[in-house]
Structures are given as structure tokens and as C-alpha cells.
């Protein structure tokens, strides 16, 4: 198995740093004066990607028994983590093999147990509520982490996601092709000024409108704060060297994100894959092998770019970035009343697969698992209670100390036994030193969802 070594990273970093760093800019100092830069990259598989085509596959015998669709038509292989835990994975994940020690696989992750809509689960991923609320992304950029905040919470070099989150005002799409022109125009323009008479007057009217209560006052306060930050963003955007248009999309995106991180323009980045994984229809579902081949290729390209793109002379982008690859949920094994050879799949919020790697994360592990491992496996009573039609695989109870699946077949569903997106986000919070007051719980009157300590480096 070919892997990318740390030595490769340093070598590539040394070679590439000179050409990527901005002239006259001490990138590390610009990004994080304490010398411990830490960023976050979220790669989103939009539409609900089926984990059975990646790291939570099922034996072909299960398809032959009519339990689960498999349009790849191949027996999956075994993917074993450094912790000795194995999972079945299809050959479609092969492009990720060189990076197998760069991320951990989390199977059987529960999203919202009560809703199976795209928006509700995407909201749940970001905010912990199916209806929306505060996203976790800006929390990673909060001064309460002890790090100087980036100017923006996150940049998206792709299309933005649909979310009902209310603190996403500093999570902004930055389409690379538009940025080149923007940077050029801003280089030719004066940044907003507060030291001239007109600038002071404009500010004074915002300040006047910001007094008191109400929506207008709140909006004016935001305008005022933003105007204070705007000269900094203006200068950073003007200094931004947009990566060459001739580059492949993924390395180009990482190069752009690297620029944003180095300039302390943002703490996080969100990259949404173009592939649409919502395959209710049989004809769509049959395209999944191609869909996943393309998507995994892109994820591998992102990892490669993270390894090969220097953050500075000593560190690669992956050295300073925590990476998460996630979809809003997984998928059912099949759709009811459709033949197994011509079935689509529906939404499964009981079993998502998430990849977590990079800075602050113990990598190469396999954590969590789902039930119904083959055609002979019988569901627990808890499973029957939540999924009477047996359309979904479900995450199995986990021991949060050992991060191993507990050998139990529960009679009743208890979210506190499960690996949840709340635990994943709280683990990110722990890695970024977000205060515990922000930690998510899995429901009212429940304690914080457990941090996966064994996953923290």
C-alpha cells in the first residue's frame, strides 16, 4: 500500500512554500501569531450519500437475498483500522488507500433520530437542531477558543449549502473564478476608511442607527462592526493570489483555501462536492458506482492537495487543518415494493459515515458500526422499534471509552448509547478548544454528547 509520508510532506512543503507564500508576508504570523495555527475543512457529500458504497458495505449475499441493493455487483473488501477494528469497504474507496493513515472512519453515526428530510438533517449537522439555529462553524473561529479569529468564519469555494443557520453571516461563498477579478478591482480601489471626514460621517450614521433596541439597530450594529473589519478584508482580498485557472478543481480549491488560511481571512472552509447522492429512483441508484468513483476521486484529490500544499515552510495544509467528510445522512438498504435489481434508496438518518482526519485527530482508526451485517443478522428490538420495516441499517451502541462497539442487542433505543453527530461535533469542539458551554447534547435533560477522547491526538 502506498502512503504519503510525513517526510514527503516536509519535502513538498519546502519546495512549494516559496512560490505560494505572498511576497513580504510572514504567513504563519499572519495566520496565527501563537504559532499553532488550526483550521477546519468540511467536505460535504450533498444529498445523503450511501455508506454501503464506501466504508460500510455489505456482502453480496445480502443483495442476492434481496436485502440491500448493490449496483457495483462486487464483493467488498476488508478495511482494517490501526485499532484492529475492521469494516467492509468497496473497491471504490481505493483512491483513498494512500491516505488511510490520514483519516479515521466513523460508521453508524446518528443524525437527527426523528426527521429524515435533507434540510432537517443538514441543519442538524451544522446546528444540532433539525429546524436550524447556531452553526458550529463560527464557534471554531470564536475568540473564546483562545485563538485570534479569522476575518471570516468560513469560505466556500463551491456553491453554498441550504441551511437554516443564523450565525452564518461570516460564512461566505468565494467562487475562485470571480475572486481573480475581485482581487484586481480591490487592488485598484481604496479600502473603507475611518480616518477621513466622509468615513467618519458614514460611521456616525451607522452608530446612530445602532443605538437602542430592535431589528434595525441590530442590523446597524452588524454593519458598523463589519465596516470596522472591512479594511482588513479589503487588504487581504487585494493581496489574495488566486490559483491558476488551469489547475484541477480540487487542488485549486485547496490552494485558494490555503491562501485564505495563511492570510487569516477565515478559520474554516466548506467544500461541497457537485455529485448529487439523492438516489430515490432506480435509474439514479444504478449510477452510484460512477457517482462514488468520481466523488471518492475528488476526496482523494482533496487529501492529496492538503498533503502537497504547504501552509508554510514546515507544515502542509493537512498539518494545520482538521478535515471532516460528511453527508447529511446515509440511505436505506432499498426502497419498498421495488425489485432488488431495480430499486432506489431513501433517507437513513440512523447510520451516517463520517471521515475525520488532519490536525488534532487520531487517524487510521475505524470507529462505530451498523447492524444488519448480513442476510442472516436479526435486528434488535430497539431496531424494530425505530425501523419496523427493516429498511435501514442502524448504528450500534458504542463504548465511548474504548470506541468499540458494545456486544449488546438493546431492547429499547437509547440515544445516549449511540455514536451521534453531537459527539462528532463535540470532539471537534474539544480539538479546537471551544468552551464546554457550547457542547451539544443529544436531547433535553441529557448531558453533553460524549467527546470521542480516543479520537483526539
Partner 1 sequence: MMRALRQATCVALLLQPAGALAQSSQFKGWAAVSQELSIRLAPQGHPFDLDEFLPSRSMDELLGTWTTFGTEHRFRNGMPNALNMTIWHAALSGFAKAVGQSCTSPRLVFHERFLTTLHALCAWPAPAARDEGVLFAFWTSVMGYNAGEHEYAAWRDFFLREYANQSATETVAAMTFAITMNPSFLLNR
Contacting partner 1 within 219-278 (CB under 8 A): 219-220, 222-223, 225-227, 229-230, 232-234, 237
Q: What is the smallest separation between the CB atom of 363 and partner 1, expressed in angstroms?
A: 30
Show contacts with partner 1 in window 196-215 (CB under 8 A): 197-198, 201-202, 204-206, 208-210, 214-215
Distance CA 48, CA 346 (A): 9
Distance CA 98, CA 94 (A): 8
Q: What is the smallest separation between the CB atom of 84 and partner 1, expressed in angstroms?
A: 32
3-class DSSP state of 164:
coil
Nine-digit cell at 201? Answer: 460621517
Q: Is 261 within 8 Å of 151 (Cβ atoms)? A: no
Distance CA 228, CA 445 (A): 40
Q: What is the smallest separation between the CB atom of 366 and partner 1, expressed in angstroms?
A: 27
Q: Is 440 within 8 Å of 416 (Cβ atoms)? A: no
Q: What is the smallest separation between the CB atom of 122 and partner 1, expressed in angstroms?
A: 10
Binding of partner 1 by 131 (CB under 8 A): yes
- The correct pick among 58, 168, 267, 347 for binding partner 1 (CB under 8 A) is 168
Q: What is the smallest separation between the CB atom of 235 and partner 1, expressed in angstroms?
A: 10
Binding of partner 1 by 166 (CB under 8 A): yes
Distance CA 117, CA 114 (A): 10
- The correct pick among 31, 154, 179, 240 for binding partner 1 (CB under 8 A) is 179
Binding of partner 1 by 128 (CB under 8 A): yes
Q: What is the smallest separation between the CB atom of 355 and partner 1, expressed in angstroms?
A: 25
Q: Look at the chain and count its residues.
A: 457
Instruction: Write out the DSSP string of 51-75.
Output: GGGTTS---HHHHHTTSS--SS-S-
Show contacts with partner 1 in window 377-396 (CB under 8 A): 381-382, 384-386
> Whose Cβ is closer to partner 1: residue 64's or residue 181's?
181
Letter string b/e over residues 84-101, b meaning 16 or more CB atoms within 10 A of that residue's CB: ebebbbbebbebbebbbb
- The correct pick among 300, 442, 451, 455 for binding partner 1 (CB under 8 A) is 442
Show contacts with partner 1 in window 63-122 (CB under 8 A): 112-115, 118-119
Beta strands in 214-341 (DSSP E): 266-272, 321-327, 330-331
Site map (CB under 8 A) of partner 1, residues 340-379, x = contact: ----------------------------------------
Decide the pairing of beta strands 321-327 and 39-45: parallel
- The correct pick among 16, 133, 249, 289 for binding partner 1 (CB under 8 A) is 133
Binding of partner 1 by 127 (CB under 8 A): yes
Q: What is the smallest separation between the CB atom of 226 and partner 1, expressed in angstroms?
A: 4
Stretch that binds partner 1, among 4-12, 52-60, 75-83, 438-446 (CB under 8 A): 438-446
- Tell me the H-state helices in 82-188: 118-127, 136-140, 176-188
Stretch that binds partner 1, among 48-56, 300-308, 327-335, 408-416 (CB under 8 A): 408-416
Residue with cell 491558476: 244
> Whose Cβ is closer to partner 1: residue 2's or residue 437's?
437
Distance CA 271, CA 93 (A): 19
Nine-digit cell at 270? Answer: 466548506
Binding of partner 1 by 452 (CB under 8 A): no
Binding of partner 1 by 279 (CB under 8 A): no
Phi, psi of 172, deg, nearest 5: -125, 140
Q: Is 136 within 8 Å of 429 (Cβ atoms)? A: yes
CA angle in degrees (0–180, nearest 5) for 376-381-384: 80
Longest Cα–Cα distance in the chain: 78
Binding of partner 1 by 436 (CB under 8 A): no
Q: What is the smallest separation between the CB atom of 364 and partner 1, expressed in angstroms?
A: 32
Give the number of residues in contact with partner 1, rule: CB under 8 A: 77
Show contacts with partner 1 in window 295-324 (CB under 8 A): none
Show contacts with partner 1 in window 143-162 (CB under 8 A): 151-152, 160, 162
End-to-end CA, the chain = 24
- The correct pick among 5, 61, 169, 378 for binding partner 1 (CB under 8 A) is 169
> Whose Cβ is closer to partner 1: residue 194's or residue 456's?
194
Nearest to 405 by CA among 43, 48, 7, 87: 87
Amino acid at each position: 500500500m502506498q502512503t504519503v509520508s510525513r517526510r514527503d510532506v516536509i519535502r513538498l512543503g519546502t519546495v512549494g512554500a516559496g512560490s505560494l507564500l505572498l511576497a513580504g508576508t510572514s504567513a504563519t504570523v499572519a495566520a496565527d501569531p501563537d504559532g499553532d495555527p488550526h483550521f477546519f475543512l468540511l467536505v460535504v457529500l450533498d444529498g445523503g450519500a450511501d455508506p454501503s458504497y464506501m466504508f460500510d458495505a455489505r456482502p453480496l449475499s445480502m443483495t442476492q437475498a434481496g436485502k440491500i441493493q448493490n449496483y457495483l455487483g462486487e464483493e467488498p473488501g476488508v478495511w482494517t483500522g490501526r485499532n484492529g477494528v475492521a469494516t467492509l469497504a468497496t473497491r471504490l474507496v481505493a483512491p483513498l488507500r494512500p491516505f488511510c493513515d490520514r483519516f479515521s472512519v466513523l460508521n453508524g453515526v446518528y443524525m437527527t433520530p426523528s426527521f429524515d428530510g435533507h434540510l432537517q438533517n443538514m441543519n442538524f449537522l451544522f446546528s444540532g437542531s433539525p429546524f436550524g439555529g447556531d452553526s458550529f462553524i463560527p464557534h471554531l473561529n470564536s475568540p473564546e477558543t483562545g485563538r485570534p479569529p479569522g476575518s471570516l468564519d468560513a469560505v466556500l469555494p463551491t456553491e453554498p449549502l441550504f441551511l437554516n443557520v443564523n450565525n452564518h453571516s461570516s460564512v461566505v461563498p468565494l467562487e475562485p473564478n470571480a475572486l481573480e477579478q475581485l482581487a484586481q478591482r480591490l487592488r485598484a480601489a481604496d479600502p473603507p476608511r475611518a480616518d477621513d471626514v466622509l468615513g467618519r460621517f458614514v460611521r456616525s450614521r451607522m452608530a446612530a442607527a445602532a443605538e437602542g433596541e430592535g431589528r434595525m439597530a441590530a442590523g446597524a450594529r452588524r454593519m458598523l462592526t463589519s465596516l470596522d473589519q472591512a479594511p482588513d478584508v479589503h487588504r487581504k482580498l487585494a493581496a489574495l493570489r488566486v490559483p491558476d485557472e488551469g489547475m484541477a478543481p480540487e487542488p485549486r480549491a485547496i490552494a485558494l483555501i490555503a491562501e485564505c488560511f495563511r492570510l487569516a481571512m477565515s478559520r474554516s472552509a466548506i467544500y461541497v462536492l457537485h455529485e448529487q447522492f439523492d438516489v430515490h429512483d432506480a435509474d439514479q441508484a444504478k449510477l452510484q458506482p460512477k457517482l462514488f468513483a468520481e466523488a471518492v476521486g475528488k476526496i482523494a484529490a482533496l487529501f492529496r492537495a492538503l498533503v502537497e500544499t504547504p501552509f508554510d515552510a514546515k507544515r502542509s495544509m493537512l498539518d494545520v487543518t482538521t478535515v471532516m467528510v460528511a453527508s447529511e445522512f446515509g440511505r436505506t438498504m432499498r426502497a419498498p415494493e421495488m425489485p432488488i435489481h431495480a430499486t432506489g434508496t431513501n433517507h437513513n438518518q440512523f447510520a451516517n459515515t463520517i471521515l475525520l482526519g488532519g490536525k488534532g485527530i487520531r487517524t487510521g482508526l475505524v470507529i462505530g458500526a451498523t447492524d444488519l451485517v448480513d442476510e442472516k443478522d436479526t435486528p434488535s428490538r430497539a431496531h424494530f422499534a425505530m425501523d419496523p420495516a427493516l429498511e435501514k441499517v442502524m448504528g450500534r451502541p458504542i463504548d465511548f471509552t474504548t470506541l468499540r462497539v458494545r456486544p449488546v442487542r438493546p431492547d429499547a433505543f437509547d440515544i445516549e448509547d449511540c455514536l451521534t453527530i453531537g459527539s462528532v461535533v463535540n470532539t471537534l469542539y474539544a480539538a479546537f478548544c471551544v468552551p464546554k458551554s457550547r457542547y451539544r447534547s443529544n436531547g433535553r435533560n441529557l448531558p453533553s454528547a460524549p467527546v470521542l477522547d480516543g479520537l483526539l491526538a
